[in-house]
Chain A
Amino acid sequence: MSILVIAEHDNSELKQATLNVVAAAKAIGGDIDVLVAGENCGAVGEAAAKAEGVNKVLVADNAAYGHFLGENLGELVAEVGKGYSHILAAAGTTGKDFMPRVAALLDVAQVSDIMRVESEDTFVRPIYAGNAIATVKSADSIKVITVRPTAFDPVAGEGGSASVEQLDVVKDAGLSTFVGEELAKSDRPDLGSAGIVVSGGRGMQNGDNFKMLEQVADLMGAAVGASRAAVDAGFVPNDMQVGQTGKIVAPQLYIAVGISGAIQHLAGMSDSKVIVAINKDEEAPIFQVADYGLVADLFEAVPQLEEELKKVL
């Protein structure tokens, strides 16, 4: 078996999710190659070559891939991937965009968002927003798979010494062009890979009150998230949303503040190692999944938390 992993990156840095996907590839077994498609992305190729367990890194460096347009990546990955038994990518918005195109071009099914590998053709994935877990077997000769990164512990990012090969395959479908982007700037760790996440819900009452959470988060080196209710109420932007319709997180510590614990939120965070809930409603469903629950008014508890953390950190 031979597995092609499509690297997740921003043309300058390899994203950790790639290491999680390589871990999923290792669970399948076989030679693992990594494809880095981007523009001026040589450094990413070097970084990928150091990842544990990688056999060969293929770099497709061209303006056509600079913004990861699904039409172009789809054609490239279908072309490069047709010689492999498995093609894997992280189930982020980039992988979700181009991978189904790859599958359709190769006339195979896609298995989305896998959480576990049972065997080379059988995988476990969530359905119904994580309210049911399906074990799915693929009969296709090439398995196209997106991987839920938080479900696999990453391989080491250092120590490997894969060869790096330049590809001169240029696929510009000519169907789409990049117009612009607005990316949220933050010095805090990325929500998807942070070790600690502090999230606020509708109980925060407005966007300004999220500053309280940011102060606590900065003490602990944590990322700040939000429930869909807080996003829909306009308190914070959508890219902070944790849940089935937002980011799936699985940090060491998840602190839910003023979050009731709707099913769709729980689907995004219940794999966290330790969950803390702070809510004044004793009956809130979030307490049913929390390891430590504090029934309190968050506007008193969060400033106290900041003070107590200053004492111990």
Chain B
Amino acid sequence: MKVLVAVKRVIDYNVKVRVKPDNTGVDLANVKMAMNPFCEIAVEEAVRLKEKGVASEIVVVSIGPKACQEQIRTALALGADRGIHIETDEEVQSLEAAKLLKSVVEKEEPKLVILGKQSIDSDNNQTGQMLAALTGMGQGTFASEVVVEGEKVNVTREVDGGLMTVALNLPAVVTTDLRLNEPRYASLPNIMKAKKKPLDAMTPADLGVELAPRLSTLKVEAPASRQAGVKVADVAELVDKLKNEAKVI
């Protein structure tokens, strides 16, 4: 079966985020970018499904500026077969991303679509569920285990208070949580091979989707910082302060 994986280019998770002095956003100039960590887990899961003989072809798609092709090439080096780049320099919000992915789903007809549960920049946690709703598919969100059995996929989900398993009819959407797998690193020969794998570029207009953002960001600020308090000498002093100064016990 064909698996479609969506990946997003974001600021590298190791980079300390700095808010721009004019409060219009986060400073991305000369900042290291990388594939969103939850998307890496999505690619890894697809590759493992292929290694198990469950998936036959992995198509990876990314939306954004030209530079997104780096992340598509990374996914191809990790084991995806083919890439699709939907190129735009505009801001793409979750609903629009879901509409773009819907048109890719209609063209490619994958049995399974795997996405990260959220991107570490906008932290929305929306696109997978929106895509599932727009395409009329079931969704296994925050997955920690994915088992394909015939025309169904069983997804174990990380929910508040524990784990929950659902069975979804295929085709379905799965969004990944952290403990689904540990992504591998691409080997040098595979990075070289990935350069020759096919990568189609298209625009939102080619897919018949008009970008019309509904949300506008009025300002972005640094969070209020907490001040360091005092050091206490021992446990007795700590308990005394908690009881008599902070009055929280």
Which residues of A are at the interface with B, using a C-beta cutoff of 8 A?
67, 69-71, 74, 92-94, 96-105, 107-113, 122, 126-140, 173-184, 190, 192, 196, 220, 237-239, 244-245, 247, 252-253, 263, 270, 273-276, 287-296, 301, 304-305, 308-309, 311-313
Contacts and interface: CB of A to CB of B under 8 A. Distances in A.
A239 B162 contact: yes
**Chain B interface: which size bin?**
35 or more
27 contacts: A70-B139, A96-B125, A97-B139, A99-B129, A100-B125, A100-B130, A101-B139, A109-B94, A109-B214, A126-B223, A128-B26, A131-B16, A132-B220, A134-B217, A139-B215, A139-B216, A178-B164, A180-B165, A183-B163, A184-B161, A238-B179, A247-B160, A275-B229, A292-B246, A294-B234, A296-B235, A305-B235
Contacts of B94: 100, 109-110
A312 B243 CA distance: 8
A94 B129 CA distance: 12
Nearest to B239: A308
A69 B19 CA distance: 38
B165 A239 contact: no
Interface stretch (B67-75, B166-174, B184-192, B198-206): B166-174
A6 to B, nearest CB: 15
B228 interface: yes
Contact of B157 (A93, A107, A274): A93
Q: Which label, helix, strand, loop or mixed, suits the secondary structure of the A interface?
A: mixed
A276 to B, nearest CB: 7
A96 B238 CA distance: 39
Q: Which label, helix, strand, loop or mixed, suits the secondary structure of the B interface?
A: mixed
Please name the 8 residue pairs, one residue from A and one from B, whose CB atoms are nearest each other, closest first: A175-B138, A100-B129, A291-B229, A104-B130, A183-B162, A104-B133, A109-B214, A100-B126
Interface stretch (B56-64, B82-90, B115-123): B115-123
Contacts of A135: 217-221
Contacts of B128: 100
A175 B169 contact: yes
Among B120, B172, B230, residue most surrounded by chain A Cβ atoms (within 10 Å): B120
Interface in B229-246: 229-232, 234-236, 238-239, 241-243, 246
Nearest to B245: A292
A30 B19 CA distance: 34
Contacts of A179: 154, 165-167
Contacts of A252: 248
Interface of B: 11, 16-17, 19, 26, 93-95, 98, 120-134, 136-142, 144, 154, 157-169, 172, 178-179, 213-223, 226, 228-232, 234-236, 238-239, 241-243, 246, 248-249
Given A239-B160, A239-B161, A305-B238, 6 more contacts: A104-B95, A110-B130, A179-B154, A183-B163, A294-B234, A312-B243
A220 B231 contact: no
B158 A238 contact: yes
A305 B235 CA distance: 6
Contacts of B95: 103-104, 107-110
Nearest to B229: A291
A263 B123 CA distance: 15
Given A133-B220, A192-B160, A273-B248, A105 B133 contact: yes
Contacts of B162: 181-184, 237, 239
